Amino acid sequence: MTPLAGYLLLSAFLFAIGLAGALTRRNAIIVLIGIELMLNAANLNFIAFWRYGANPEALTGIMFVIFAIAVAAAEAAVGLALIIAIYRHYKTTNVDEMNSLKG
Amino acid sequence: MTLSFAIIAALIIAAATAAMTLRNLVHSALAVAIAFAGLASAYLQLGAQFVGLTQILVYVGAVAILIVFAVLLTRGGEAPEKSVFSASWFWGAAIATSVFALLACAINHSFASKRALPPQPSATVEQIGQDLMTKFVLPLEVIGLLLTAALIGAVIIAMRDESPKSKIEDGGSKMDKTSGPSSILHPPSSSGGHQ
Amino acid sequence: MEVWIVKNLWLIPALPLLAAGLSAPLPQRFRKLSASLAIVSMIGAFLLSLCAFAHAMHLSHANDVMERLGRQSTGVREFFNFAWLQFAAGDAGILKLGWVLDPLTAVMLVMVTFVGTLIFIYSVGYMAHDQNFTRFFTFLSLFAAAMLGIIIANSLLLLFMCWELVGLASYLLIGFWYHKPSAAAAAKKAFITTRIGDVFFFLGIMWLYHETGTLLFYDNGAGCLEQSALAKMVTQTTCFGLAVSAAIGILIFIGAMGKSGQFPLHVWLPDAMEGPTPVSALIHAATMVAAGVFLVARVYPLMAVHIDGAAAETAALQVVTWIGAITAVFAASIAVAQNDIKRILAYSTVSQLGFMMMGLGTGGVAVGMFHLITHAFFKALLFLGAGSVIHGCHEEQDIRKMGGIRNYMPVTFLTYAVGMMALAGVPLFFSGFWSKDAILHAAHGWSVSHIPFYLGVAGALLTAFYMTRQMALVFWGQYRGHTSHETPQVKTPELVAIKSEYQPHESPRSMTVPLIILAVCAIGLGAIGTPAWPWFQEFLGSHHEEGFTRGVIQMMMISGLVVLVGGGLGIGLYGFVQRKRADEPDVLEKLPLGMHTWFAKKYGIDELYELTVIRFNAWAAKACAFLDEWVWGGAVALVSYVMLGLSWASRAFDEFVINLGFDQGCERVSKGGSLLSRLQGGRVQIYLRVIGVALVVLVLFLIWGGAK
């Protein structure tokens, strides 16, 4: 197995773990953590392709990952703020109970 | 594959799995921080030093802490759950497994499994800075805007509702203290319809 | 004026019919009005009949003149036919009716209207206490209309229709006191027995129509009693070598047998005495029962047509004669042992009708009709007199409970005596003598056999005997009412309570005056048919030998002798030794072989019919009822069950297939909708899962599916 394939498999596995958690855990914060893991897996994928792919001089992979990290951070902030706001309303962080748009 | 890669991979996977399966939320948050750290070391090994350190700065230093704060803020009033996982956890796991299988198959059948190793590229900070200022200056500015908007938005969303004095100032909304910032932005028409 | 009366002969029955129609809806309290309507209509009909009679005499006279002059005869009859309805295309499909005026019609019209008027007037007094006075006169008028219709009919169909109407009126009048079960039963018996005769009558009509194509009697040569039709029918033969004309004649005669009470269809006439006495007088003495004789006289050309031999020898006329002769003796023998005053007269009527038939068969139309006319008057007289006696004895009808009435009711006694002598045939002064004598004379001269003559003589003897017996028991001796241990006869519920005193009393003038008038006629009418002046016979078309020939005087003496013997026997047995009490046994009960019981029990004919015909009829009715209920009813029920089954199946189909299908379809749709709505449950994790599945599916099918 080439290193690229290894890193890709690792990123796929990490992605699957994050997905599994996001799909199965009850707590909303854990779901967010899973989403973060998925994002990180995608970042790893980009870096792996930058390192082992064609044209690494363009630094495209790194650029993308930098922006992805920034966006992920912003998204994490907003998401957690939402969860806090929802927690105040529903008194729970159980995603199964947050199923209505009506207040 | 080298041994270092294997160790780092194992670390990442173990930490991620722990983060997803631990019952205690704080433990889960700390596990995910370890996973971030592991990922950072993977970046370092791949030669993307700037990205790796940025990862530690942002993810471990900010996101993980943010998660811990969120856990702490939403802790009180939680009833002890019977199960951490939802009732239909099997299907979620199955879907995740199928996605992994799909990706693994794709990877195996693609060129990636056959490509030879190219030499190590160099990505200095200077090069990254240069690209940011020239080629990627627009995304940079947009990211700045995005971050600003996200921060302000997060603050507003998470802001606790004010005392009744500010409610009268808002134009007579009938919400009580426990309703969220929705009362400031859009006063709901129904009075007090919460769960 | 002459032709007017022929064209408007229909007015004669129309007047009583109008009276009946006007009187039918009247409430019962309008007594005087209904009685007046009836009597006035009958008087009007009588006047019109007189006009018709005058015209018929004129025609006959003109015809005689023509014949004497040797020119072609102009005929003695005039008729008026009209088309009634068209049931098929063409000329043969028109049904014609009409009326005819000839001597036969004329004498009957005058007799019926005259006697009818007198009886109507009598009824005013007799039925004065009855509650249903108005209904009585309605029915009487209806009867009169129908009877007059029979007389004037020129079409066998019109005759039959009026024949049936007369039967209906008889039923209504016999059963007038319908609360009495015996009256209701008697009415039913009368109707059904005459119906049996009518069935054969109708068969005869149909056969006649089939043979000749017309039911009109006289139609300018095309009628069924005219030469061409008769010639055709007499040459054709049917079973037993019988000529068709004779066969049809016999069938028609059976109808006459029913109506005129000949043996064996006589059983209804005595029971018909359950009706009020005016009814018995009018219908069952003078007119309706005479309709049978009239019918035979009317179709006499049919019965008498022959190829060879004499007219009196045709098969049809032989049947008529024999039946008539047998009936005459049969009924007279029964009358000898009866104790009800009206029943004796009823059997006497049956016997005299037998005489009339015998006269028609042996001597022709004139002989029979002469006796019919004279009999009408004296029998009506006798019945009205009997009614007067019954009324005077407070509704008592058993002659054993009467006696010495001549002292209490002299007018009734005298008129009754006149009638009795006319019936018995006391010589010279009484019409009955002349008419009966004519019959015996004709029977004596019958070429086929002399037995009817002897039977007629026996009948005349018995007639004189039983009438004398009746007179002796009723009018002589002591009054025996309420001397027996039995209670008085039960009165009908309609009649008002009788007076407290039990003595008989004379009847009011409305009842006695008709009696007197009829008595005068009973004497006087004999004059029109004596051999010295046989006007009647010539008028009716049979050319009689004039004058008192040796044969005629011989016959007169035989008749007189017969009357003397009969009367003498009666006086001897009943006149000298009068019984003291009502329930003493009759003198005749000493007769050997239980003959008296045979006579009294009417030869058991009623019981025989009861055992055979009635039983069979009841069985047949039960069989039909069974058939109707189980077979046809079962079929109908089956059809209804099939329909029910079909409807049930349809409902089941509707409920389970259509409704269910529709309901199930809707349910599926709503379930599918609810299923689909789960996609939008609001749970984020579900959305995520769907995205994961979609990713897998898309990659599989689009990228890999297409690439391979």
Return phi, psi of residue C682, to 5°: 95, 0
On whether residue B158 sits in a domain, the answer given is: yes
Whether residue B128 sits in one domain with residue B73: no
- Mind listing the pLDDT tens digit for each residue in B59-99? 999 999 999 999 988 875 455 667 777 778 889 999 999 99
**3-state class of C216 per DSSP?**
strand
- Mind listing the pLDDT tens digit for each residue in B5-41? 999 999 999 999 999 998 888 999 999 999 999 999 9
On whether residue B135 sits in a domain, the answer given is: yes
Q: What's C237's DSSP letter?
A: B
- Provide ipTM, 2 decimals: 0.92
CA dist list (Å): C380 to C135, C283, C374: 22, 9, 10
Burial C333-344 (b: 16+ CB within 10 A, else e): bbbbbbbebbbb
Q: Which of B127-131, C483-487, C664-668 has the lowest mean pLDDT?
A: C483-487
Rounded to the nearest integer, the mean pLDDT of chain C is: 83
End-to-end CA, chain A:
53
Q: Which of C197-211, C234-248, C264-278 has the lowest mean pLDDT?
A: C234-248
Return phi, psi of residue C349, to 5°: -60, -45
Model confidence at C496, in pLDDT bands (50, 70, 90)?
Answer: very low
The answer, for B125 touching chain C at a CB cutoff of 8 Å, is no
Alpha helices in C448-575 (DSSP H): 451-475, 509-524, 535-539, 550-570
Give the integer Cα–Cα distance in Å for C622 and C630. 12
On whether residue B186 sits in a domain, the answer given is: no
CA dist list (Å): B106 to A61, C283, C350, C495: 20, 127, 132, 127
Closest by alpha carbon to C328, among C528, C526, C463, C187?
A: C463
Give the integer Cα–Cα distance in Å for C168 and C145. 12
Q: Helices C244-260 & C315-335, crossing angle to 10 degrees?
A: 20
On whether residue B177 sits in a domain, the answer given is: no
What pLDDT does C485 receive? 41
What is the DSSP code string of C635-669? HHHHHHHHHHHHHHHHHHIIIIIIIHHHHHHHHHH
CA dist list (Å): A13 to A45, B101, C65, C327: 11, 9, 153, 136
Closest by alpha carbon to A33, among B52, C312, B84?
A: B84
| Counted domains in chain B | 2
On whether residue B84 sits in a domain, the answer given is: no
Mean pLDDT confidence for C483-495: 45
Q: Which domain holds residue B52?
A: 1-77
Residue numbers in A near C689 (CB within 8 A): 23
Give the integer Cα–Cα distance in Å for C98 and C82. 6
Give the integer Cα–Cα distance in Å for B94 and C297. 122
Between C527 and C98, name the one with better pLDDT.
Answer: C98
Note whether C682 contacts A101, CB cutoff 8 Å.
yes
| Residue with token string 């990627």 | B136
Q: What's the maximum distance between 2 C-alpha atoms anywhere in chain B? A: 70
Give the integer Cα–Cα distance in Å for C60 and C697. 128
Given a contact cutoff of 8 angstroms between Cβ atoms, the answer to whether C253 and C318 are in contact is no
Between C84 and C536, name the one with better pLDDT.
Answer: C84
Whether residue B71 sits in one domain with residue B7: yes
What pLDDT does C275 receive? 87
Note whether C696 contacts B91, CB cutoff 8 Å.
no
Give the integer Cα–Cα distance in Å for C569 and C559. 16
Asked if the model's pLDDT at residue B155 lies above 80, the reply is: yes
Note whether B92 contacts C695, CB cutoff 8 Å.
no
- Mind listing the pLDDT tens digit for each residue in B164-184? 554 444 444 444 444 445 445
Model confidence at B189, in pLDDT bands (50, 70, 90)?
Answer: very low
Of B56, B77, B98, which residue is a domain's last? B77
| Residue with token string 């958690």 | A21
Distance from CA of C663 to the nearest CA of A (A): 31
On whether residue B154 sits in a domain, the answer given is: yes
Smallest Cβ–Cβ distance between A19 and the set C682, C684, C692 belongs to: C692
CATH at B69 = 1.20.120.1200
Note whether B103 contacts A12, CB cutoff 8 Å.
yes
On whether residue B88 sits in a domain, the answer given is: no
Given a contact cutoff of 8 angstroms between Cβ atoms, the answer to whether C482 and C488 are in contact is yes
Element (DSSP H or E) covering residue C125: helix C103-126
Return phi, psi of residue C97, to 5°: -125, 165
Q: Which two tokens stand for residue C533?
A: 């002046």
Q: How many residue contacts between B and C have a Cβ separation below 8 Å? A: 20
**C positions 640-699 inside 8 Å of B (CB):** 685, 689, 692-693, 695-696, 699
Q: Which residues pair with C83 in a beta bridge?
A: C96
Q: What's C94's DSSP letter?
A: E
Note whether C692 contacts B106, CB cutoff 8 Å.
no
- Mind listing the pLDDT tens digit for each residue in C54-81? 888 888 888 878 877 877 666 677 788 8
Phi-psi group of C114: left, alpha or beta (phi > 0 → left; psi -120 to 50 → alpha; rest → beta) = alpha
Mean pLDDT confidence for B129-138: 91
- Mind listing the pLDDT tens digit for each residue in C397-452? 887 778 778 888 888 888 898 889 888 888 877 888 888 888 888 888 888 888 88
Between B37 and C266, name the one with better pLDDT.
Answer: B37
Whether cis (ω within 30° of 0) applies to the bond prior to B139 is no
On whether residue B82 sits in a domain, the answer given is: no
Residue numbers in B near C699 (CB within 8 A): 102, 106
Give the integer Cα–Cα distance in Å for A51 and A62. 9
**3-state class of C571 per DSSP?**
helix
Chains in contact with B, where contact requires at least 3 CB pairs less than 8 Å apart? A, C
Give the integer Cα–Cα distance in Å for C123 and C514. 10
Given a contact cutoff of 8 angstroms between Cβ atoms, the answer to whether C118 and C518 are in contact is yes
Element (DSSP H or E) covering residue C173: helix C156-174
